[in-house]
Amino acid sequence: MIEERFLLAKERIQEIKDEDLLQREFQQYFIKVAGFLDMICETWDFVRADGLKTAPIAELKVRNDKLYEDILEEQYGHSYANPEYSVSLFGEAYGRFLSFLYAEMRSLIPLVYEHRLADMVIRLELFLEVYGSFCCAKEEGALPEPEALSQIAYWYVSDYARDAARKKLEDMLDRKSDFALRIIEGDLSDPRYLYYFGEYITDNEIETYRHLQGLPEETLKKMADTYTEGYRIGFITGNKDITKKKTVSIRYILGFEPMIKKAVLNFRKMGLDVTIYRAPSSILEGRGMNRIGYYGAIPNKQYDFDHKDDQALVLDKCLVQVRTEALKEAYEEYKELAGVFGGPAVMEVFGEKQCDLKEKPQALHLSDAQQKLTVEYMAAAGEIQNRYIKGDERSFTIIAFPVPEIGKDFAEIFDEVIRINTLDYGLYQRMQQTIIDTLDQGKYVLIKGMRGNKTNMKVMLHTLTDPARQTNFENCVADVNIPVGEVFTSPVLAGTEGVLHVSRVYLNEMEYKNMTLTFQDGMITDYDCSNFDKDEQNRKYIKDNVLCHHDTLPLGEFAIGTNTTAFVAARKYGIEDKLPILIAEKTGPHFAVGDTCYSHAEEVAVYNPDGKEIIARDNEHSIRRKDGDVMAYFNCHTDITIPYDELGEVSVVTYDERVIPIIEEGRFVLSGCEELNIPLEDIKI
């Protein structure tokens, strides 16, 4: 039946190019999008005929380019996927809808390569239903009502919410969902395999692959071992039993398959099967700015930014209920697999071309009511997930590497990052313990900026009732967050106050200029940046992307980064603005807004290597979970770092009002930590 529906849809779509039933501008839209869908259908035939394995690599590149060319930066100004362009042609209501529709049609690309015909068919039928609506209205000499079009989209999302939730969990939890894994474990001797995924492929991915292929075997093994050992050690330091787990999900960016292949073998030696799932591309799957899963090159970050709130077209309370029930049903179906899922092993990249994103009024945006619904759904989804994948039993790890786009020094930077990722565990552990022993004498910590940095923060610490056995700060080396280099805590909110300022920072690949967050009793009371000319645009930018639509967030973490080697390497190669937060957070004190580092695992006793228990696992907000408050969690956690050269002071103030400096004017001044300053001697602070 699915095959028959596909053939009928394909035939009808091919007819559109010869039709002239609508007003000129609308007819041109449907002809253009139908042409794209015709290319999708032809690609389906090509993939089914095993063309990926038999066609020359030059042909694979041409085909790949054609699938993505319409949303590339140079074409995007006149693409229907651009809401600004569509609204200029069709007006706000129709332009926004038709831009959404084309973006949803573009989610067909990965489905072709994964042979998911049923999922292809529902999208083709959505397009034809909309086209039919325009044709019927034209017979009456009118256009379809915008509300009627929104209803088509609404029922599309609602009707397939259960299928989408089920598929998403299947890909994450079931090792039999092995599309990507089969490619990775296949022949990697030629970069043609990169085109098998259906993701956008550029020279960046191919050069990454070639660089890894050219590395000595022992270097590749070292990279993979650091990655997988970080995952294993994360269970040990978190006092969790990895032997209860049977699966781990790998998230990575295409081009790193030679390393990932070795990581898969390492995980299997630990008794863990691997799942590897694709980042969402459809409104059904929860498409957004942040890509969670594997993916290739990002064709155009502005395109992603323009469509991150497409659900505004359909989101209401009923749909939230449908999605929540769909998620419950999916987890119940996969509850056995969820129970043995260990968590993600994430490999990030950095150095890609930066994009100055433009906030467009023509794009769909969530209303205030929809933002609240989004927050409610995130809270409910987090609670459901934790019921089946228990936070006190799962763990994770994250590591990052540069990509060729970082510049001419790519090879040298890559080698330097390998060195940073494998710094002496024991050395940092000892120096960080010295810092922790000092911090544990304190009632609160003072952090002040310099050289234009306006930070002036007071961070309250938990009271240690048994200092011989308790500590506030975790001694973080190379486990869940690679590389080594931080001590962190969950602050007491009451009394935590002040201003956090960063002159420039990239968070989740989005730039923030002169971002200022003001805190009172540990909660954000005001925020601003200078990205846009208008204050309301700046506030919206932060609320949408840092506060994640919440009205406020708590200070969930305070940390002192100790990786001066990473800081100096970034300065040497001029890549400070390209570092991922994973490394950047180790290059100075950082503050995380949102949930604590122990979210959903607060009841698990965690110990430092010296045997002391870290008691600062809760704050006044997360503790509400004990009363059954699902809003105890915010389901977000964003780190913001002050670099050493903007750091005037980090001092701890004891209960008897003594002030003990830890960092002064960007240098560690605590006895026993002098070695942290050695890398800094190569630069001026």
Which residue's entry shows tokens 């290597």? 609
Q: In the predicted model, is pLDDT for residue 353 greater than 90?
A: no
CA dihedral 481, 482, 484, 487 (to 10 degrees): -10
- What pLDDT shows up at residue 417? 95
User: What are the structure tokens assigned to 383, written together?
Assistant: 């609670």
Say if CB 470 and CB 464 are below 8 A apart.
yes
The Cα 94–Cα 217 span in angstroms is 56
Say if CB 121 and CB 5 are below 8 A apart.
yes
Is the model more confident about 627 or about 337? 337
Cα R_g (the chain), whole angstroms? 26
User: What are the structure tokens assigned to 456, written together?
Assistant: 């002036």
Average pLDDT over residues 656-683: 93
Identify the burial level of 137 via C-beta atoms within 10 angstroms of its C-beta, where 0-12 means exposed, 13-18 middle and 19 or more buried.
Answer: middle
pLDDT, tens only, 557-587: 999 999 999 999 999 999 988 888 889 889 9
Q: In the predicted model, is pLDDT for residue 7 greater than 70?
A: yes
Question: Residue 286 is which amino acid?
Answer: G
Q: In the predicted model, is pLDDT for residue 685 greater than 70?
A: no
Name the DSSP letter for residue 354.
P
Q: How far apart are the first and last CA of the chain?
A: 69
Q: In the predicted model, is pLDDT for residue 542 greater than 80?
A: yes
**Cα–Cα separations (whole angstroms), residue 453 to 322, 465, 529, 589:** 47, 36, 13, 13
Count Cα atoms within 13 angstroms, Cβ side, for 189.
1
Element (H, E) at 15: helix 2-16
The domain spans of the chain are 2-159, 169-388, 423-682
Say if CB 338 and CB 389 are below 8 A apart.
yes
Mean pLDDT of the chain: 95
Which residue's entry shows tokens 């099967």? 273
Average pLDDT over residues 71-100: 98
CB count in 10 Å sphere of residue 656: 7
Selection from 61, 22, 270 nearest residue 144 by Cα: 22
Average pLDDT over residues 377-398: 93
User: What are the structure tokens assigned to 512, written together?
Assistant: 């923030």
Selection from 473, 643, 635 nearest residue 554 by Cα: 635
Percent of the chain with pLDDT over 90: 89
List CB contacts of 676: < 8 A, sequence separation 6 or more. 431, 562, 564, 668
The Cα 354–Cα 578 span in angstroms is 8
The Cα 632–Cα 637 span in angstroms is 14
The Cα 118–Cα 44 span in angstroms is 13
Average pLDDT over residues 299-308: 96
**If pLDDT is split at 50, 70 and 90, which confidence band does 553 have?**
very high
- What pLDDT shows up at residue 425? 82
- Backbone phi, then psi, for 601, in 5-degree steps? -135, 30
Question: Residue 285 is which amino acid?
Answer: E
Helices (H) and strands (E) in the chain, counts: 24, 19
The Cα 287–Cα 281 span in angstroms is 5
- What pLDDT shows up at residue 640? 94
pLDDT, tens only, 174-231: 999 999 999 999 999 999 999 999 999 999 999 999 999 999 999 999 999 999 999 9
Say if CB 662 and CB 669 are below 8 A apart.
yes
Angle, nearest 10°, between helix axes 368-388 and 317-333? 10
Which residue's entry shows tokens 């964003």? 638
Say if CB 399 and CB 344 are below 8 A apart.
no
User: What are the structure tokens assigned to 239, written together?
Assistant: 């006092």
**If pLDDT is split at 50, 70 and 90, which confidence band does 600 have?**
confident
Q: For residue 511, what are the β-bridge partners?
A: 506
pLDDT, tens only, 403-432: 999 999 999 999 999 999 988 888 999 999
The Cα 273–Cα 290 span in angstroms is 25
Could you tell me the pTM of the whole model? 0.89
The Cα 33–Cα 35 span in angstroms is 5
Selection from 139, 32, 125 nearest residue 86 by Cα: 32
Identify the burial level of 62 via C-beta atoms within 10 angstroms of its C-beta, where 0-12 means exposed, 13-18 middle and 19 or more buried.
Answer: exposed
> Is the torsion defined by CA of 313, 315, 319, 320 positive or negative?
positive
User: What are the structure tokens assigned to 20, written together?
Assistant: 């002239």
Question: How many residues would you count in the chain?
Answer: 685
The Cα 54–Cα 66 span in angstroms is 19
* Strands 470-471, 613-614: pairing kind: parallel
Alpha carbon of residue 326 to chain centroid: 23
Average pLDDT over residues 480-508: 93
Identify the burial level of 356 via C-beta atoms within 10 angstroms of its C-beta, where 0-12 means exposed, 13-18 middle and 19 or more buried.
Answer: exposed
- What pLDDT shows up at residue 683? 76
Q: In the predicted model, is pLDDT for residue 14 greater than 80?
A: yes
Longest pairwise C-alpha distance within the chain: 84
Which residue's entry shows tokens 């009793």? 521
Q: In the predicted model, is pLDDT for residue 385 greater than 80?
A: yes
Which residue's entry shows tokens 């000092």? 438
Q: In the predicted model, is pLDDT for residue 130 greater than 80?
A: yes
The Cα 432–Cα 301 span in angstroms is 38
Average pLDDT over residues 307-322: 97
The Cα 329–Cα 164 span in angstroms is 12
Selection from 440, 458, 460, 439 nearest residue 448 by Cα: 458
